[in-house]
Amino acid sequence: MRLAKYKFTSDKKQESPLSLKNLKLRLWLLMTLGVCLLLAGVIYSISSEKSPWIEIADSIRDFGFTIIASATIALLLKVPSLFQDVNDSAIKLLTNNNYLKRLDVNELRKLRADATESAYMRNVKSVNETLKELDLKISELFLQPYFETYQIKISCKLLQDNNDYIEKKISTEFVLINPRKEKCNGIEFIKFRVVQNKINVENERSLVSLDVLIDNEREFTSIKEKFKVRFTQFYEESTSYDRLSIITLKEESNKDAEMLAFKHQLKVRLVERRIIPKSDTSYLYRVINPIKFFMINYSFEDCPVNLIGNGFATFQTTKNGGISIVKDPNSIHISCKKWLLPGNGIIIVHNYLK
């Protein structure tokens, strides 16, 4: 004969705070009803001693007393649950985050610093203060606009009129997110600054097209005519890279300065043309604002080259899969699907093949 195995569990179900609250309310109502009946029976008995209804008044009094006694006993039996309810309410009050809404920014930052120190530095003998500063700087990035996506495509070819120079067509597309409640100005995110060689080729950097889409707009709008490329001296002494070129507004008017104000997101498509010396064999891009997804494709059209590239990120490497590098004969593709922080970036170097 096989013996069935049974697993016995308690039939007692844990009461929810709502059901316990309803039970307490019912008990108090019963006690109130009992007190009312008791008082009514006592008052009627005293005022109408010879009334034929005296027995009914006594019954009402006894019934009221019974209700009071029953409710009191039931309430006493629920004392442990009541204590538990009070304890749970106290814990909820201490752990609830509603009080954070009453604190100002400085108080919240102080609380965050204290919580971080308690959570991560409790079992550490000593911690360098600069690490705390780094933690604070990273947390401050939550207040800044960031790029949801940032994609660059660079196509290089030898200049037809002069093979000592390379023409680069650089297409940049990005989606900028505003985490703040107030509007953000997207002008500063279009003013690309480039340190470059001083060369004697006309239009060594020019703007081909510039289209934007603000918030919930359905179509891109061209604003190329509002911008120009401005050159300034970068170093006082003569160096290879002695000039700074900036894509900037033609006129710094209030109307133009506010034309890219956005509340939620700003999409930008920018195409520019750069001419550089053939001897300039490197391309460097550094992140200014955080980027959630970054991608660059760098290629040569009519010149055999060997391309070498890599990305440098705070927490991402090619070994942990954070940075991906794919090479073809005349192109290289670098992407990072996780966050790039300010100061991170990529570098690409090309060597000409004979």
Q: Kindly indicate the confidence band of residue 345, based on its pLDDT and cuts at 50, 70 and 90.
A: very high
- State pTM to two decimals: 0.69
Element (H, E) at 48: none
- The crossing angle, in degrees rounded to 10, of helices 79-95 and 17-47 is 130
Q: Kindly indicate the confidence band of residue 235, based on its pLDDT and cuts at 50, 70 and 90.
A: low
Instruction: Tell me how many helices (H) and strands (E) the chain has.
Output: 6, 16
Q: Kindly indicate the confidence band of residue 58, based on its pLDDT and cuts at 50, 70 and 90.
A: low
CA distance 291 to 152: 13
pLDDT per position as a tens digit, 94-153: 667 777 777 888 888 888 877 777 777 777 777 677 777 777 788 888 888 999 999 999
Residues 6 or more apart whose CB falls under 8 angstroms from that of 70 comprise 30
CA distance 146 to 86: 45
Q: What pLDDT, on a 0 to 100 scale, did the predictor assign at position 7?
A: 42
The DSSP symbol for 291 reads: B
SS3 296: strand
SS3 214: strand
Q: What pLDDT, on a 0 to 100 scale, did the predictor assign at position 209?
A: 93
Inter-CA distances, 282 with 81, 214, 227, 310, Å: 73, 34, 27, 12
Domain ranges of the chain: 17-95, 98-118+127-142, 169-278, 281-354
Identify the residue with better confidence: 25 or 200. Answer: 25
CA distance 164 to 142: 46
